[in-house]
Amino acid sequence: MSVAIIGGGWAGIACAVELADAGRPVTLYEAAKQLGGRGRGVDWNGIRIDNGQHLMIGAYGETLRLLHRLGTAHLLERRPLRLQVPGFRLALPRLPAPLHLATGLLLARGLSLAEKWAAARFMQALQAIHYRLPEDLPAATLLHRHRQPPALIAKLWAPICIAALNTPVEAASAQVFCNVLRDSLAGSRADSDLLMNRADLGSLAGDAALAQLGPRVSLGEKVTGIAARPPRMLKPGALVAPASMPAGLSDAGKDAGATVETRACFTLTGPEQSAEQVVLAVHPSRLPALLADLPEMADISNAVAGFTWQPILTLWLRFATPPVFPFPMLGLGDGHAPWAFERRDLAPGLVAIVMSADGPHIGQPAEQLRDEYLDLLAQALGPLPALLDWKTITEKRATWSCIPNLPRPDNTTPVPGLYLAGDYTAGDYPATLEGAVASGVKCARLILQT
């Protein structure tokens, strides 16, 4: 059965690799000239950078499996979790769980004993309910109910929430926040490790997938519509494939005496192709337009049309000589403040400063933002080398706002043979590479089961 995957982000890539490995005929249609979607490489004055600084953790099981399969997992640098911002440092030592968290909290710098105790109490309370809340609510409300002191929220919980969910703690889903804490801070020592890509995201996934999938990828191919013809029961005597049906799509004629069910058939406009199964792996904002001709999908389409979006801004700085970082990832302040990443893997002296979620920085002139962030960086690192070049990249719809009780659709749909993949589909994680990859793998497995 032929499968068309629409969208070559990490979800579409994972789905295509899984199906191709199982020997299924698959075509991956990607509107852009490269694979990778929101996690891709970008050319900039002779070097290749990421469209936005990303961070992974050891708990990204499906992502790690995909990168091993693509032969690029060695491009990740694994470090024990360390969160360092001015006046605060939490480092998890190489000890088995939960000792690593207990020791890390005990030795954390910048927290009073009462704050450390409050943090440990909070994690214990979540563990006692297996990180499942009776009802979803804003993460800030959950923290207040557990009497977390404001300084602890500002130094620890709010930065984790906004970095992981790309949604401020006041608006973020407490349940998804708990899921993230379960797999990071409270996960096994290996799960809580930070994984930093030491090559651009294109080399990590998109380019490697293109090399392996070869002619099964159709780049620069925007799908503009999908029409479906559901499976049909054909009675004896009617067992002749209609002329309009693409060759090979009918079971008709196999057994002249029996009633047979023809397979579903989808026709795609844009590439003008047909397929028996379709995986829609586009950005959720693109979903309603693509589903317009499928009335059975109206509920899903309407639910996704209600999503709102959060931006992520990355400032790329190229210095004459590499600034010295105490750790490759450094917070530049409390709460909403940006994080700086040392990226000497892409070019000597390269630094990425990433700022999550919406805020006044998004509307600021780029030069002003550059100067403000350079000041913050100098406060953290001391005098900086000469700046050679710089660039900002703002992804306006980097992620969906991860708010409480968001109606995230399943991977299966009311249309037989049509599947949804992407970071927004039902799952434990916020909009992340892991959520995207896991959804792509899940769709592939559902298809292989049918």
Ligand X SMILES: Cc1cc2nc3c(=O)[nH]c(=O)nc-3n(C[C@H](O)[C@H](O)[C@H](O)COP(=O)(O)OP(=O)(O)OC[C@H]3O[C@@H](n4cnc5c(N)ncnc54)[C@H](O)[C@@H]3O)c2cc1C
In the complex, which residues of this chain contact ligand X (CB under 6 A)?
6-12, 29-32, 37-39, 51-52, 54-56, 222-223, 281-283, 286, 312, 314, 395, 398-399, 422-423, 431-434, 436
Q: Which is nearer to ligand X, 340 or 431 (CB)?
A: 431
Kindly tell me which of 37 and 41 has the beta carbon lying closer to ligand X: 37
C-beta separation of 310 from 398 below 8 A: yes
- Report, in Å, the least distance between residue 128 CB and ligand X: 28
* Nearer to ligand X (CB atom), residue 16 or residue 105: 16
Of residues 34 and 212, the one with the C-beta less far from ligand X: 34
Q: Residue 234 or 431: which CB sits closer to ligand X?
A: 431
Report the residue number, 142 or 287, with the smaller CB distance to ligand X: 287
52, 395 contact by CB (below 8 A): yes
The residue among 13 and 234 lying less far from ligand X, judged by its C-beta, is 13
For the chain, the residue count is: 450
Give least dist CB 237 to ligand X, A.
Answer: 40
Residue 118 or 330: which CB sits closer to ligand X? 330
Buried b (16+ CB within 10 A) or exposed e, 112-147: eeebbebbeebbeebeeeebebeebebbbebbeeee
Place of tokens 């029996």: 258
Query: What is the SS3 string spanning the chain?
Result: CCEEEECCEHHHHHHHHHHHHCCCCEEEEECCCCCECCCCEEEECCEEEECCCCCEECCCHHHHHHHHHHCCHHHEEEECCEEEECCEEEECCCCCCCHHHHHHHHHCECCCHHHHHHHHHHHHHHHHCCCCCCCCCEHHHHHHHCCCCHHHHHHHHHHHHHHHHCCCCCCCEHHHHHHHHHHCCCCCHHHHCEEEECCCHHHHHHHHHHHHHHHHEEECCCCCEEEEECCCEECCCCCCCCCCCCCCCCCCCCCCCCCEECCCEEEEECCCEEECEEEECCCHHHHHHHCCCCHHHHHHHHHHHCCCEEEEEEEEEEECCCCCCCCCEEECCCCCCCEEEECCCCCCCEEEEEEECCCHHHHCCHHHHHHHHHHHHHHHHCCCCCEEEEEEEEEEEEEECCCCCCCCCCCECCCCCEEECCCCCCCCCCCCHHHHHHHHHHHHHHHHHC
What is the rounded CA–CA span in Å between residue 141 and residue 288?
Answer: 33
- Give least dist CB 258 to ligand X, A: 39
38 or 155: CB nearest ligand X: 38
Count of CA atoms in the C-beta half-sphere (13 A) of 193: 18
Question: CA-CA-CA-CA torsion for 382, 89, 325, 189, nearest 10 degrees?
Answer: 180
115 or 423: CB nearest ligand X: 423
Q: How far is the CB of 166 from ligand X (least distance, A)?
A: 7
Q: Which is nearer to ligand X, 18 or 115 (CB)?
A: 18
